[in-house]
A and B are shown apart, each in its own frame.
Chain A
Amino acid sequence: AQSVTQLDSQVPVFEEAPVELRCNYSSSVSVYLFWYVQYPNQGLQLLLKYLSGSTLVKGINGFEAEFNKSQTSFHLRKPSVHISDTAEYFCALRRSNQGGKLIFGQGTELSVKP
């Protein structure tokens, strides 16, 4: 079975500060990894994804994530956050050899303060 653990339920940070949202996963098979963002009263939006190749993945809105197979982690980072980045962030995985379901973590609420 696969699982995703987001280590922080809430992350408060000041505007223009760097941020890291942590994600660890567990799987005995090869997986794809994703980060989604959910703004208030909106649907989930894909930020970035790791399928294969370079372990550093760049996404929208200046976010990036690094796949670390030995530590089974896929942490999300941004060097300087804006007020508009305030949202819920979800890490997710999917088996690479199987279409279909995403398995999500419980989410991290990022709160950017002025």
Chain B
Amino acid sequence: GAGVSQTPSNKVTEKGKYVELRCDPISGHTALYWYRQSLGQGPEFLIYFQGTGAADDSGLPNDRFFAVRPEGSVSTLKIQRTERGDSAVYLCASSVRGGSETQYFGPGTRLLVL
């Protein structure tokens, strides 16, 4: 079956612009996660949704970052007033439910802020 998909695969933007990154989880998965992976580092947790609600948003670095999942399926990560330090690969993962042990990852969106 189809895995987790993320669009776009690459995004180049200018400092100060607004960007949206999309994640399509595996069908039927109720839990969805966003991570950020900077060059040479491991993924860093951003936010976790159970259904439509954010169960844990403790990893969002500041109020420029926001994520939604209005219908409990597709999620969008939104970054306002982008900064060069936001350049990273943004990973999305999903699992059957929040307590499930296995998270399935998408290929990521590579964001470059010039």
| CB-based contact A44/B105 at 8 Å | yes
| CB-based contact B91/A43 at 8 Å | yes
| CB-based contact B42/A106 at 8 Å | yes
Give how many B residues have a beta carbon under 8 Å from the other chain's beta carbons: 31
What is the distance, in angstroms, from B58's C-beta to the closest C-beta of chain A? 8
Q: Is A100 an interface residue (CB 8 A)?
A: yes
| CB-based contact A43/B45 at 8 Å | no
| CB-based contact A102/B45 at 8 Å | yes
Q: How large is the interface on A (under 10, 10 to 19, 20 to 34, 35 or more residues)?
A: 20 to 34
- Where chain A touches its partner, the secondary structure class is strand
Q: Of residues A41, A43, A45, A90, which shows the largest number of chain B Cβ atoms within 10 Å of its Cβ?
A: A43
**Contact residues, B76-103 vs A (CB, 8 A):** 91, 93, 97-103
What is the distance, in angstroms, from A41's C-beta to the closest C-beta of chain B? 7
Q: Is A103 an interface residue (CB 8 A)?
A: yes
Q: Of residues A36, A92, A101, which shows the largest number of chain B Cβ atoms within 10 Å of its Cβ?
A: A101
Interface pairs (11), CB distance under 8 Å: A41-B107, A42-B107, A44-B91, A44-B93, A51-B101, A94-B101, A100-B55, A100-B98, A101-B33, A104-B35, A106-B42
